[in-house]
Amino acid sequence: PIQRPLMGGSCSNCEIQSCCFCCAMETGVRIYNVEPLMEKGHLDHEQVGSVGHVEMLHRSNLLAIVGGGSNPKFSEISVLIWDEAREGKDSKDKLVLEFTFTKPVLAVRVRHDKVIIVLRSRIYVYTFPDNPTKLFEFDTRENPKGLCDLCPSLEKQLIVFPGHKCGSLQLVDLSNTKPGTSSAPFTINAHQSEIACVALNQQGTVVASASKKGTLIRLFDTQTKEKLVELRRGTDPATLYCINFSHDSSFLCVSSDKGTVHVFALKDTKLNRRSALARVGKVGPVIGQYVDSQWSLASFTVPAESACICAFGKNTSKNVNSVIAICVDGTFHKYVFTPDGNCNREAFDVYLDICDDDDF
């Protein structure tokens, strides 16, 4: 399985820009630079075994690793913090922290001062990286996908995860929550069916979510909890793999098992497509929900049977933006799009065939 794109420097994990992505594989871990595309490092099977999850702290030497697959070296109930820059030939020299639980770890999220560890029905928050201390525990609804997102902004310490009620989101501002105390959670009733995908923008002001039906993406203000906009991916049910905001929250991209990556405009929603029936006038309530929908500004297709993550890349000019899609079949896709909806492939590669770069 491939983990989501990871931003470099102090930026968000919501955009690929001069950044990296990590692959958790049967043969270990591989780390790639995106633009230009090249392998920047790897941990082989002898070092880490087969890996179920990997998360990188921005563009740094610190990796969070969870064992998985057919031949793991580390347990699925433990999170190992690996410091690739640490001197020493032995794997033990590279392991600097370990968090162990009683149940499998389903996801890890990391920012400069905290690490979030997600189990099936509980989320743990620790200080990070020096002398980690547990700050919070949050009970959640059954969360088999390990859904959780963490705002990377220095100004916002916001996390979001599925609430106790079906289709709800729970928002927690860690800066306003005291360790060891129970505070009323901020809950958003986002959908009628189970949450399947969730993402925060870099500023922590907007949260986007989709249900397991996968036809609609809804955006909410994290302060007021009000719905800002509803975007339609399609009319047929789909499994969404990824939702990501652009760096400035002007656009949002979504990938699904339909093999299509959709791009929506957020800053200027008039750029999004509407149904031709919208010009007709009033229609019945059943058709009306589709007529009033905002459809994607642009879209492109990757191999339909291949799951992928997507995020925004470098802007090639003021009016030309790019989206990167990274697929589990080992393919890399870069498309550029314009405000009028033009979308063209600019780059394609097979990243698993790319050799290691010794400069990592």
Looking up tokens 């002898």 gives 46
Q: What is the pLDDT of residues 16-69, one digit of tens each?
A: 434 889 999 999 999 999 988 999 989 999 999 999 999 988 777 889 999 999
Higher pLDDT, 171 or 280: 171
Average pLDDT along the chain: 86
Q: Give the pLDDT score at 92.
A: 65
Q: Give the pLDDT score at 4.
A: 40
Average pLDDT (92-108) is 90
Higher pLDDT, 102 or 156: 102
pLDDT grade, residue 181 (50/70/90)?
low
Q: Give the pLDDT score at 8.
A: 29
Domains of the chain and CATH, by start: 2-353 (2.130.10.10)
Q: Give the pLDDT score at 316.
A: 65
Q: What is the pLDDT of residues 196-208, one digit of tens each?
A: 999 999 999 999 9
Q: Give the pLDDT score at 12.
A: 29
Among 302, 246, 329, which residue's Cα sits nearest to residue 2?
A: 329
pLDDT grade, residue 9 (50/70/90)?
very low
Question: Is residue 130's pLDDT more than 90?
Answer: no
| 330 exposure class (CB count in 10 Å sphere: 0-12, 13-18, 19+) | middle
Q: Give the pLDDT score at 131.
A: 87
pLDDT grade, residue 129 (50/70/90)?
confident
Q: Give the pLDDT score at 290.
A: 53
Q: Give the pLDDT score at 280.
A: 46
Amino acid letter, 140: T
Q: How far apart are CA 257 and CA 304, in angstroms?
A: 7
Among 31-35, 287-291, 331-335, top mean pLDDT goes to 331-335
Average pLDDT (83-100) is 76
Higher pLDDT, 232 or 85: 232
Regarding pTM above 0.75, the answer is yes
| 175 exposure class (CB count in 10 Å sphere: 0-12, 13-18, 19+) | exposed
Rama region for 108: left / alpha / beta (φ>0; ψ in -120 to 50; rest): beta
pLDDT grade, residue 88 (50/70/90)?
low
3-state secondary structure the chain: CEEEEECCCCCCCCECCCCEEEEEECCEEEEEECCCCEEEEEECHHHHEEEEEEEECCCCCEEEEEEEEEEECCCCCEEEEEECCCCCCCHHHHEEEEEECCCCCCEEEECCCEEEEECCCEEEEEECCCCCCEEEEEECCCCCCCCCEECCCCCCCEEEEECCCCCEEEEEEHHHCCCCCCCCCEEEECCCCCEEEEEECCCCCEEEEEECCCCEEEEEECCCCCEEEEEECCCCCCCEEEEEECCCCCEEEEEECCCEEEEEECCCHHHCECCHHHHCCCCCHHHHHHHCCEECCEEEECCCCCCEEEEECCCCECCEEEEEEEECCCEEEEEEECCCCCEEEEEEEEHHHCCECCCC
